[in-house]
Structures are given as structure tokens and as C-alpha cells.
Amino acid sequence: MPDSQPIPASPSSEPSVGQAAVEIGTVLDLTINRMATGGPSIATAPDGRITLVDGAIPSEEVRARITAVHKNRLEALCLEAIKPAPERQTPPCQHVGEGCGGCDWQHALPDAQRQFRIDIVNDCLRRIAKLTDIDVRPGPILPATGYRTTVRAAVVAGKAGYRKRSSHDVISVTSCLTAHPRIEELLADGHFGEATEVVLRVGANTGERIAVLYPSAEGAQLPDDVIVVGKDEIDAGRNPHYHEEIGGLRLQVSAESFFQCRPDGALMLASEVADVLAEHPGDLLDAYCGVGLFGALAGTGRRIIGVESSISAAHDARVNYGSHATVIASRFEHWNETEVGVAVADPARTGLRRAGCDKLIATNAAAIALVSCDPAAMARDISLLAEHGYRPEQVTVFDLFGHTSHVETVTKLVKA
């Protein structure tokens, strides 16, 4: 499930003339045009405003209830598909019907979800980067269930749950379609004491499990194999970790270090990065390196420079890289750049932005593998890099987060 659920936006202004009849709670019949970045679909309301509709599929005619009103757009929730698309399915998880906000695309078949991601990437490239001729290709198919090795959940009276869509209310869960079975067990049966939130993690290929409880682990009752730690203990200096095995390597991941949501997807991303950079020799810059996943798996035979702002993740990267590597604990935008042969960058959802792009450009890397988890940020970053001679040659779209609207991409950029 996403780390947090959005709060419905308040109306940004009063409706203009001709729009006053549409208000929160109004029910409209709409024709769905296309998918939007972030998960909803797009329709046009009778008054002409763009309407973002949760739970709908392109080409459908739906009945939807307005949930937010803005001057230039509306937000709505699909109540029923009057003319359903062939790609529609009954959500396979019971908690979706209870309002769980974790998986926003369960109403669509997995094959359709894969096409939605490609369509969204192409749309962002066209609208934001003004590019229509990039080779956008699908990555290998990954299972859409039982994959998540990291899950964040709310805790109420000691039991884990997910927040309802667009709400702070919590649904207690007895199962989770997308969680790894060893995580699902903890969600259903674990008792998390006085915590208000928990992050559960498992090494799918090692079986090691860890639970980080916020604000403390007071009163938690979990199986003996689970490493249990409170955020207060981490703040006091305790730094437990678990391991994951990927591509023949055993990687250390500390309690609060970021790691990809699934090891099979992480290996596919790293393999794509290696392919992007393979033709170009020289040192490898691993920007926003996290625990060193890409440098460790795609940097064989190269000297590696890892840059990471998280102290715990930088520590993990030093362990995971082994020899022939330097790790700098710094925000990438503040790093004293040096020239390298090739670079991989895996920034946060907001992307590189101008400052990150400037640092990459200053390295004079012959090729860049840009790993992105937001298509709009990806398109903006590609446009900024292209201004300085980095030609985008292909974008590979990965389905790391089945049944959700999350989109992961790897873009190949080559210096002209």
C-alpha cells in the first residue's frame, strides 16, 4: 500500500457562473477518456470541467459522486459502471469493498494495468517533455499478488490496518492481496502494543523479518524471529538490519533504509540499468544510491561512487558495495561533483529537479540510467537533461506495484 493516503482537497475557490449546480455529493453520469498520472481516470463534466474519477476505466460510462470541487476541475468516485469496459473485474481483495485505499487499480485486470502505465508514460512525455518519438517499452511481467516485502500500516488498539481511501479512518485487515505471505501473517495476527503505526519488512529470499513501530514498541507481541524495534530506540542509536539476497549478492538493509518493494523487481531494474550502461566504460556514479542496490548489481568491474543523504542507507551501501567503492553521505545536490564514465540516478518521487540535473550534467557521464517512480517528474527531468545534450533513447516501464497506479521506469540517456 502507499505510505500515506491523500486527504481530499478543499475547494480552491467558488465555482464560476454555470458551475454552481455541481457540488460535493452531486452524482453525474460521465464518459471516461483516459488515465491520469496518479491513478484516477479523466472525464469531462457537463459544465466542461476536467473531472478526475477514482475507480473508472477509459471508454466506460460511469455514474460518479463528486468528492471535491475546484475552480477548474472536479474530483469524483465511481459508484457504478453503467457501460463497463472489457478490462473491468471485481476487485479480488475483500478490503477494497470496505474502502481500503491501498490498491487503487484492483478494478482493472492486470494486463490492462500494464497498458495504463505505458499510456501514462507516453502522455507525460508528450505533454511535459514535448517528445513523441521515444521508444517506450514494457518490462518483464511480474506477479501482481503476494509481492510487497515492505508494508506500512496504521495501528488501532494493537491491530494493524490500512487507511480508507481519502480518509484517516482505519480498516482492520485479516489479509492483503499484495503483501508477501510472511508480511501478511504479521498484519493478520500480530499485536503491535501501544504503537500508532508500523513498518513491516521481510527478506523474501532470506526469511528475515523486522518490525519498526512508531513511536515505540511498548507492548508489542510478535513471533520470536521478528526483529522488533521502536522509533524511539532508533533515535537513541539502535540500528538493526535485515538481509535480502538478489542476483547472488547478500544485501544489508537497515531498519529505516529505503529498499525496493520486491526483490524480483529490484533485480529487473538493476539488470536494465546494467544494460543501459554496458557500452560505456569508466567509473560509475550511483546517485541517490540508497543501500547500494544498483552499484552492487550493475557496477561489476567499475569503481563506484555512491552518494546518499540517509546516514543508515549510506552505511548499508558501504557494506554492500564491498571494495572499489566510495560512499559519500550527502544530499546529491550538495555533492562536490567529479567526472565519471556513467551514472545511475534513483531520486525520490519528486525527481532530480534542476539542481539534481545540474549535478549529473557536471559529471560529463557518457550515459545515464534514470530510475523514476513518478512519470511526470521523469518527463520533466528528461527535458532538463536533453537541454544539455543528453538524448533520451528509450524508456522501460516496470510493473513493480501490481494493482496500484504506481509507475516505475528506467530511461536511457546518452550524451550527444
Task: Give the span between the Cα atoms of 44 and 300, in whole angstroms.
Answer: 51
Q: Which helix (H) or strand (E) holds 171?
A: strand 170-172
Task: Give the span between the Cα atoms of 267 and 245, in whole angstroms.
Answer: 10
Task: Give the span between the Cα atoms of 292 and 299, in whole angstroms.
Answer: 10
Please give the CATH number for the structural domain made up of 1-87. 2.40.50.140
* Residue pLDDT, tens place only, 30-45: 999 999 999 999 999 9
Task: Give the span between the Cα atoms of 2 and 84, in whole angstroms.
Answer: 27
Backbone angles phi, psi at 318, to 5 degrees: -60, -40
> Strand ranges (DSSP E) for 215-303?
220-221, 226-230, 241-246, 249-254, 284-287
Task: Using DSSP bridges, classify how beta strands 342-345 and 367-372 pair: parallel, antiparallel or unpaired.
Answer: parallel
Report whether pLDDT(86) > 90: yes
* Residue pLDDT, tens place only, 225-265: 999 999 999 999 999 999 999 999 999 999 999 999 999 99
What is the number of alpha carbons within 13 Å of residue 213 lying toward its C-beta?
A: 26
Question: Distance from CA of residue 354 to its chain's centroid?
Answer: 21
Report whether pLDDT(18) > 50: no
Q: Nearest Cα to 86, choosing from 46, 115, 63?
A: 115
How many beta carbons lie within 10 A of that of residue 132, not counting itself?
8
Identify the three-state secondary structure at position 138: strand
* Location of each CATH 2.40.50.140 domain in the chain: 1-87
Answer positive or negative: Cα dihedral of 361, 373, 210, 266.
Answer: negative
* Residue pLDDT, tens place only, 365-411: 999 999 999 999 999 999 999 999 999 999 999 999 999 999 999 99
> Strand ranges (DSSP E) for 55-124?
61-69, 73-83
Task: Give the span between the Cα atoms of 20 and 14, in whole angstroms.
Answer: 8
Q: Nearest Cα to 272, choosing from 147, 400, 409, 399?
A: 409
More confident of the two residues 13 and 413? 413
Report whether pLDDT(12) > 80: no
Q: For the chain, what is the largest distance between any 2 Cα atoms, rounded to a whole number of angstroms?
A: 67
* Location of each CATH 3.40.50.150 domain in the chain: 111-143+261-415
- CA 196-198-201 angle, to 5 degrees, is 180
Report whether pLDDT(2) > 80: no
Q: Nearest Cα to 215, choosing from 238, 237, 193?
A: 193
Average confidence score pLDDT of the chain: 93
pLDDT at 20: 52
* Residue pLDDT, tens place only, 301-331: 999 999 999 999 999 999 999 888 999 999 9
* Residue pLDDT, tens place only, 176-213: 999 999 999 999 999 999 999 999 999 999 999 999 99
Cell of 269: 531494474
Task: Using DSSP bridges, classify how beta strands 220-221 and 241-246 pair: parallel, antiparallel or unpaired.
Answer: unpaired
Q: What percent of the chain has pLDDT over 70?
A: 95
Q: Nearest Cα to 47, choosing from 24, 69, 21?
A: 21
Report whether pLDDT(16) > 90: no
Q: What is the CA radius of gyration of the chain?
A: 22
Mean pLDDT, to the nearest integer, of 259-273?
A: 97
* Topology of domain 111-143+261-415, CATH: Rossmann fold (3.40.50)
* Residue pLDDT, tens place only, 54-70: 999 999 999 999 999 99
Report whether pLDDT(3) > 60: no
Task: Give the span between the Cα atoms of 159 and 170, in whole angstroms.
Answer: 10
